[in-house]
Amino acid sequence: MKMKKSYKALVDEATAKIRTLTTEEASKIYGDPNIVFVDLRDVRELEREGMIPGAFHAPRGMLEFWVDPESPYHKDIFASGKEFVFYCQSGWRSALAAAAVQEMGLSPVCHLGEGFRAWKDKGGAVGERPHHHSPKPTEAKT
């Protein structure tokens, strides 16, 4: 079955509308407190390969819901007024994601065009996915 529009065409269209950072450009702004790196990859990818330390994990499937303040799933970080650098493994999901949230009105946003793979290969910082543990239930008082 031939698609009406290929994934490559979708990514190319998104890339034409957004700002793309090279790995070198991203590494220069990494650590700036006014910039949030957002990892869009699946949790299994994070477990297997690690992530950029300090990045916020927003699974691609939930992003639009987390960005919109009117959504019951809204995450406050997206209302922080900071700049967001989206990334995924190869730069495809992040291009689509950056275009979508930019169209929604989130600004400023950009994406890491070469993806996490290039970040890692070029010596960028990589750490383990933080594990958030549920608080222990309080003991019943007797």
Contact residues for 69 (Cβ-Cβ < 8 A; gap 6+): 78, 79
pLDDT reported for residue 139: 43
Within a domain: 126: no
Q: What domain range is 37 assigned to?
A: 9-121
What's the CATH code of the domain at 91?
Answer: 3.40.250.10
Within a domain: 1: no
Within a domain: 128: no
How many structural domains are present in the chain? 1
Within a domain: 135: no
Within a domain: 117: yes
Tell me the H-state helices in the chain: 7-17, 23-29, 43-49, 63-67, 92-104, 115-121
Question: What is the identity of the amino acid at 30?
Answer: Y
pLDDT reported for residue 130: 79
Within a domain: 46: yes
* Alpha-carbon gap, residue 119 to 23, rounded angstroms: 6
pLDDT (tens place) for every residue of the chain, 142 residues total:
899 999 999 999 999 999 999 999 999 999 999 999 999 999 999 999 999 999 999 999 999 999 999 999 999 999 999 999 999 999 999 999 999 999 999 999 999 999 999 999 999 999 988 776 544 444 444 4
Within a domain: 3: no
pTM (2 d.p.): 0.89
HSE-up of residue 64 (Cα within 13 Å, Cβ side): 9
pLDDT reported for residue 63: 97
Within a domain: 25: yes
